[in-house]
Amino acid sequence: MKGRLYIVAGCSGVGKGTLLKLFLKQNPNIIFSISATTRKPREGEQDGVNYFYVSKEEFQNSIDNNEFLEWAEFSGNFYGTKKSFVEKTLNKGIDVILEIEVKGAAQVKQKMPEAVSIFIMPPSVEELEVRLRGRHTESEEAIQKRLNEANRELEAGKSFDYKIVNDNLDDALKRLQDVFDSERRKQC
């Protein structure tokens, strides 16, 4: 049986990373997709573990050869999901999770409509603002930019197959597990 592709997206500060880290710890048989990037590795990062590190020329060749399910440019660096990595893993019968932004999720859904999309939502925009401010890592301008983007992402999130409100981490983790369990039952 072929694996399933799951797309997980949500606003910055909603807790996607924390939620997925806990979920994958409980589900070691599911693979977290590794993106390709043109940015340089940070201290402690490893090629093939954190990212596939490639040159801008290699990345552009992959774009030209339609080798990405999705790709985007952020802060002068390119990031993308290689189709070959995802397809090889799915063909082995292993489920794959992509944690990507909303625009990337739309690109993947267009190329692989059978992918299951899950949108992680904040309990409210006000709570999201509290979380973003609580990080103490960004300027007021950056926070306002993220909040404006969050409103657009929340609108786009309406088109996802599942929506999970991350109001309580344990509850959100249970709801995420329920989505995977439900999708597995559909496959049988």
pLDDT the model gives residue 85: 93
pLDDT the model gives residue 145: 86
pLDDT the model gives residue 35: 93
CB atoms within 10 A of CB 76: 8
CA dist., res. 101 & res. 124, Å (int): 19
pLDDT the model gives residue 75: 77
DSSP 42: P
Q: What is the block-wise mean pLDDT of the chain (188 residues), using blocks of 10 residues?
A: 94 89 96 94 91 96 96 89 95 95 92 96 88 83 86 90 95 97 87
Q: What is the pTM of this model?
A: 0.88
Contact yes or no for 63/71 (Cβ under 8 A): yes
What separation in angstroms does the CA of 169 have from each of 6, 18, 154, 176, 177?
A: 19, 9, 19, 10, 12
Q: Which two tokens stand for residue 87?
A: 């397809």
pLDDT the model gives residue 2: 92
pLDDT the model gives residue 113: 95
Q: What is 110-171 written as a DSSP string?
A: HH-TTSEEEEEE-S-HHHHHHHHHHH--S-HHHHHHHHHHHHHHHHHHTTSSEEEE-SSHHH
pLDDT the model gives residue 133: 87
